[in-house]
Structure 1
Amino acid sequence: MAYFRKIKSKTAKKGYTWGFTMDVGIDPVTGKRKQTSRRGFTTKSEAEVAYHKLKDQIYKGLKLESNDVLFKDVLADWLEMYKKTVKVSTIKSRRNLINHLLHYFGDMKLKNIKRPMYQQMLNDFYKKGYSLNSISSLHTTANMIFKRALELELIHQSPTDFAKLPKKQVTVEEIESKESKIRFLEKEELMEFLKMAKTEGLYLDYQLFSTLSYTGMRIGESLALKWTDINFEEGTISITKTLFNPTNHETKYQLLTPKTNKSIRTIFIDESIQAILKKHRVQQSQYKLMSGTDYVNEDFVFAKLSGHPLTVKLAGERMKRILKKTSLEKDITPHCLRHTHTSLLIEAGAGIKEIQEILGHGDVQTTMNIYAHMTKDLKEKTSQKFGELMKGLSENL
């Protein structure tokens, strides 16, 4: 039941505004009727629209009272909606941010959270040494929560509006000294690494690292590969998913959609990598027979002897083990093989658009940035090699 009424106002043009009071249930302790009010509407029809919205919210179980609603209640409502729009990995990445916000504002009434208080929270995080990226993510999360409060008409203004994010003051020296470097292996270094992986590597090492080097796939994409994704007749690999395993426990993984829509792609593979994968499939079949019912067959290409996919952490540890056996003195991770593949594409004369499609970059600017850095690096190395050659010639004159 609702009661609509005119309310005198010195600021309104008509001298009054509209408001309403409505029943929201019975207090289980006192047995008395519970009510909530809204006011400040220009016309009765606006008040009626607001009433029906609020009625729907209460009907759906969102029992928020205008004066006493707490920040944590709105956060819980927002989170339920947010979960339906993003991947599990995104929710996990926001958990710490949500906990920080709850620590500051959790039990506070929404109406008591003002702009100076919110700005102070951001400043506190900066003083505590949190990165600018973390503070920016915190602000983005808070903004979404308060936007939800605005949608529910629980507040008229968001305390996140006009907030100033801290900015690091970069000196000229830092700009000049901070040259972005993309780590990758040159062709000869890659050959040495893969040869060592083949002769000294453990099961899956040579197959996995060869695939990463020859395709430019992300490590998560390669570990999510299933045999049904490989078409040997067409010589292609379909990339449609990525492995999500934050705890690195071999059984606690999920297959999620790739990073962007552009990441869903089909790439061609040459005969050499096809031969490696075909041989690997035969070997894997033999291990399945040996393991019998203990093997969990989920069709993963890079499956451990248990049948579960290799984890990202283990792949990194395997790579370090092989690198120690080589003469290479580079700090290389599995992701660096993606850059290595990019360098080989550039050397082969591939264009930016072609490289973008192979790597599955959502934004061509990402490809251009990598291309620019790697082209510069390759040119510098070519110049050095030429200088060494000319030095050797001049010494023999």
Structure 2
Amino acid sequence: MPRKKSMYQRPDGLFEKKITLNGKRIAFRGRTEIEVFRKIANYQEAKANGPTFTEVAKAWYAVQEQRFEDGKLSFNTLKGYHPAMREAIDYFDGQYAKDLQPQQCNHYAKYLAGRYEGEKTVANKLSVLHCILDFACVEYNLTYNPADKVKVPDGLHRGFRDLPPAEHIKIVQTKRPEPGTDAFTGWLFCYVALNTGARRGEIIPMRMGWNIDLANQIIHIRGASYFNGNTPMEKSTKSLKGVRDVVMLNDFKATMEQLGLKHGDLLFSWQSSMITSKRLEMCLKRYYAWAGIDSTPHQYRHGFITVCFEAGIEPKVIQEMAGHAQLSTTLDIYTHLRRHMLDEAAKKLNKIDFSTGKIESDEDKVPLSEKQQDGTA
């Protein structure tokens, strides 16, 4: 006697069984009854265990993509999320989100510290992990975030962009390539960064009149830009603090007047639009080759902040002109400046033989008293 089938067999030959789970009617199909029962068991196990970390991470990233489409997230932020998300997926792949423990997240932090030297890099990647698991708490009823107590491991390099050497600042301020050349465009970009403290993305969309207010001698920073591949795109400033006014120095005003630009003209344009990424990089490289220097626009931004500190301007005022969201960011640059000044002082002091009062040079040793007499000390 043939065995009685335990489930319905469709006209196409597939077996089908419908069951109700959590009030929802679900159909499972397979070529054999065993295959159908296996699918049911796998489904029930998955529902009991909840989503995997990979599923949560991809769902979280889809939400971030929607936030970008809605104008609530910057392109650069979304772009930075993706590699951090992929690295977390590679590490936790195959694990259920509900099974993750603080110890595993701490091991991940140590894993990152072994791969990357920079404290900020590791901190950013751990921040993405934290955001993914926060999302799991809200959307998938994870009872707690296992990354809450995980900290960036000690001993990582806390890097700062080097300050531009004094001779580089002097060259930017005093030597200019022939107007109309690519090198001139590269110089002007560095010059604007040095005299305004603006970020690269804030300089690109600058226009005469709207941003460069010659009549009131003020620089209005109201927006920013980013590159989607090679194409420049406008966006809001990095933070609310990014919307700001910066005093216009006399030399800067004279330089702007000499450009001969009309109201509304872009300072940096290419084919009647904002300058492209490749075009800007080419102009900067040609300027570096012309001038024999290599300090970047962001270093000149820090150079502006450094000059403000050296001029005795209050840190809170410098923070506002620099557009830093946190005063601590401004003070970090000051701390780095102090360390740089101490290093320079150490180099000079190391050349002095305190037992004889002489300063060592590459050519000879000059007594300190002689240096004071001829006014060179």
Give your verdict on TM over 0.5. yes
Q: CA deviation at 1:98?
A: 1.1
Please say which of residues 230-239 and 92-101 is displaced more in the overlay: 230-239
TM-score by length of 2: 0.67
Partner of 1:254: 233
Quick check: 1:143 aligned with 2:109? no
* 2:202 maps to which of 201, 221, 224: 221
Q: CA deviation at 1:27?
A: 2.6
Note closer, same or farther for the CA distance 1:331–1:65 as it changes in structure 2 (3 Å cut): same
Partner of 1:266: 245
- Distance in 1 (CA, whole Å) between partners of 2:244 and 2:254 is 22
Quick check: 1:76 aligned with 2:58? yes
Q: CA deviation at 1:337?
A: 1.8
TM-score by length of 1: 0.64
- Code of the residue aligned with 1:273 in structure 2: it is F
- Contact 2:187–2:284 under 8 Å retained in 1: no
Note closer, same or farther for the CA distance 1:88–1:28 as it changes in structure 2 (3 Å cut): farther
- Distance in 1 (CA, whole Å) between partners of 2:266 and 2:78 is 26
Secondary structure of 2:177's match? helix
- Contact 2:241–2:324 under 8 Å retained in 1: yes
Quick check: 1:243 aligned with 2:243? no
Partner of 2:75: 88
Partner of 2:333: 370
- Distance in 2 (CA, whole Å) between partners of 1:129 and 1:209 is 30
- Distance in 2 (CA, whole Å) between partners of 1:130 and 1:359 is 27
- Distance in 1 (CA, whole Å) between partners of 2:106 and 2:333 is 36
- Contact 1:126–1:166 under 8 Å retained in 2: yes
Unpaired segments of 5 or more residues in structure 2?
1-20, 31-35, 41-45, 349-358, 360-365
- Distance in 1 (CA, whole Å) between partners of 2:313 and 2:151 is 44
Unpaired segments of 5 or more residues in structure 1?
1-20, 35-63, 171-177, 286-297
* 1:332 maps to which of 289, 295, 301: 295
Partner of 1:168: 155
Runs of 4 or more above 6 Å deviation: 178-181, 387-390
Secondary structure of 1:335's match? helix
- Code of the residue aligned with 2:176 in structure 1: it is A
- Contact 2:194–2:297 under 8 Å retained in 1: no
- Contact 2:186–2:286 under 8 Å retained in 1: no
- Distance in 2 (CA, whole Å) between partners of 1:281 and 1:96 is 44
Quick check: 1:192 aligned with 2:171? yes
- Distance in 1 (CA, whole Å) between partners of 2:213 and 2:59 is 45
- Contact 1:315–1:334 under 8 Å retained in 2: no
The root-mean-square deviation of aligned C-alpha atoms, in Å, is 4.2
Q: CA deviation at 1:79?
A: 2.5
Partner of 1:24: 24
Q: CA deviation at 1:308?
A: 3.2
CA deviation vs aligned residue, 1:15-42 (integer Å, no higher than 9, x gap): xxxxxx732343364899x9xxxxxxxx
Identity percentage of aligned residues: 18
* 1:98 maps to which of 85, 90, 94: 85
* 2:287 maps to which of 319, 322, 344: 322
